[in-house]
Amino acid sequence: MDNSNANNATMTTAETKTALVTGSAKRVGAAIIQTLHRAGYNVIIHCRLSRQAADELAAELNLIRADSTKVIQGDLNNETIYNSLIEQAHACWNRLDVLVNNASSFFPTPLGSITLDDWNNLVNSNMKAPLFLSQAAAPYLKQVNGCIINMVDVHAQRPMKQHTVYCAAKAGLAMITQSLAKELGPDIRVNGVAPGAILWPAGDGAEGEMTEHTKNLILERTALKRPGQPIDIAKTILFLARDADYITGQIIAVDGGRTLNI
Ligand SMILES: NC(=O)c1ccc[n+]([C@@H]2O[C@H](COP(=O)([O-])OP(=O)(O)OC[C@H]3O[C@@H](n4cnc5c(N)ncnc54)[C@H](OP(=O)(O)O)[C@@H]3O)[C@@H](O)[C@H]2O)c1
């Protein structure tokens, strides 16, 4: 049996695998970065506004293992940077093994007030950028039998009221996951993770903020009666990246049973 993918932590520097995680300065993305790093990957943190948090996380990880973490920056609303982000990521260590499309904007779009800016913002980060970053990364991923992992959402399949644009963008991302898995096999695996309630939308007065009542309703309808943790997502990403050699085109719900009752 070929276990060549399984022991990344023991690989020599020349063989060290590299992972780019978009939107990974904070929250779930940062947990993915930390988990892949702990497993022996060299990691590339991508950020847009959270440069300071990205630099601090990189400094922390580079203290643990020198020259193991880099930061790249760019707004995924700007389609002209998609190719260059992948070029920068590849140039860090001259290889790219894993692309995690994690960056995402999230806010309600009640019908009657949806603007084209809302549409562009939500579609760009949640659907368009993942596709074009995947397209740019595919030649590099092919060289190393790498993989793409897309962060979807349980609401890609079941709508969330007043979030039509976000849900539609994530549904598009789910189809992109399956479609690319077909097109990029046998060289590249493409999978998705669909989180349920892991971290509530950023509580900084942002439009996406939820009331306590809404949070309680969501947890009441979750079989495990509690939110998940970023590490639950990160462990699934590591599994898909490192240990799931015969899995492609799948979207794994990590939702505490939420989809049983949405
Ligand atoms: N949290 C949950 O419970 C939950 C539930 C379902 C699905 N998900 C999915 O899981 C992933 C991670 O969730 P999260 O809550 O940790 O995400 P998040 O904090 O809402 O967003 C992650 C990062 O995305 C980046 N981002 C947003 N718009 C961007 C743009 N136009 N260009 C570049 N970067 C952009 C931001 O980077 P900067 O801060 O650097 O600007 C942000 O820090 C997302 O794909 C989300 O849809 C999460």
* Euclidean distance between CA atoms 106 and 112, whole angstroms: 18
- Which amino acid residue places its CA nearest to atom 31 of ligand 1? 76
Answer whether the bond into residue 186 is a cis peptide, omega within 30°.
Answer: yes
Q: 23 alpha carbon to ligand 1 midpoint, in Å?
A: 6
What are the tens digits of pLDDT across the range 141-174? 999 999 999 999 999 999 999 999 999 999 999 9
DSSP 200: P
- Give the dihedral sign, CA 69/243/196/225: negative
What are the tens digits of pLDDT across the range 102-128? 999 999 999 999 999 999 999 999 999
* Euclidean distance between CA atoms 166 and 247, whole angstroms: 27
Q: What is the pLDDT of residue 11?
A: 52
Tokens standing for residue 160:
């969330």
What are the tens digits of pLDDT across the range 39-98? 999 999 999 999 999 999 999 999 999 999 999 999 999 999 999 999 999 999 999 999
The residues carrying an active-site annotation are 166
List, chain by chain if needed, residues with CB within 6 Å of any ligand 1 atom. Answer: 23, 25-29, 47-50, 75-77, 102-106, 124-125, 151, 153, 195, 197-199, 202
Q: What is the pLDDT of residue 5?
A: 42
Q: 220 alpha carbon to ligand 1 midpoint, in Å?
A: 24
Looking from the CA of residue 76, the nearest atom of ligand 1 is 32
Q: Could you give the percent of the chain with pLDDT greater than 90?
A: 89
Looking from the CA of residue 227, the nearest atom of ligand 1 is 3
Mutate to test the pocket of ligand 1, among 20, 44, 47, 48 (most ligand atoms within 8 A of CB): 48
Residue type at 182?
Answer: K
203, pLDDT greater than 80? no
**Residue 244 — pLDDT band, cuts 50, 70, 90?**
very high
More confident residue, 72 or 262: 72
* Euclidean distance between CA atoms 121 and 48, whole angstroms: 13
Q: 4 alpha carbon to ligand 1 midpoint, in Å?
A: 32
Looking from the CA of residue 197, the nearest atom of ligand 1 is 3
**Residue 192 — pLDDT band, cuts 50, 70, 90?**
very high
Report all structural domains of the chain as residue ranges with CATH numbers, in order of start: 11-260 (3.40.50.720)
10, pLDDT greater than 90? no
Q: 105 alpha carbon to ligand 1 midpoint, in Å?
A: 6
Q: What is the pLDDT of residue 210?
A: 82
Q: What is the pLDDT of residue 13?
A: 57
Q: Give the pTM.
A: 0.95
Q: What is the pLDDT of residue 262?
A: 79
8, pLDDT greater than 50? no
* Euclidean distance between CA atoms 62 and 117, whole angstroms: 38
Nearest to 257 by CA among 223, 221, 226, 214: 223
Q: 102 alpha carbon to ligand 1 midpoint, in Å?
A: 6
**Residue 207 — pLDDT band, cuts 50, 70, 90?**
low
For residue 107, the tally of other CB atoms under 10 A from its CB is: 16
Contact 102, 28 (CB under 8 A): yes
